[in-house]
Structure 1
């Protein structure tokens, strides 16, 4: 979103006449926007949504595990293993601090 806005501002800057009074202001605004984009995208962060989703999978897995121990049934163990695998993989991929884009995907 920030890059699209900066690109639109650059296109607007190109359309302004050379003697426009706002040309320098818009140029400095574009410079600040690009510096902000670079500083934000170069920082490492975690994907909060992915962590919450993976944690929810692990909680559901624990629930299936409890039901399997209490009531039996192989299908409860199978469902619990399914959610456990997705929870562990989700935490392993979203938990570590990494460079990410605006949607939380690794860069």
Structure 2
């Protein structure tokens, strides 16, 4: 009787191990083939050469956001205490200039 229970337990363990291996193999197959199921390829050169969607004589969205951060800046207690307000304003002003440059040159490589 005990021998039959041991054999039955052994078969159950083997079946469990087989199912675990099959599950692992399925996950591995999914991970190694996911690139076959991706979207259409993106032509990054075409994307980089697209015309900007706002007038270059007006402010772009990045520049507007940077200006809004600059105009809404109110130095906090510690900024005033440690006299960091001017430095912080200079950083925000530099961010506005950086945003302006990146707005009209969307290609970071050239």
Bin of the TM-score, shorter chain as denominator length: 0.3 to 0.5
Structure (1 or 2) with the larger CA radius of gyration: 2
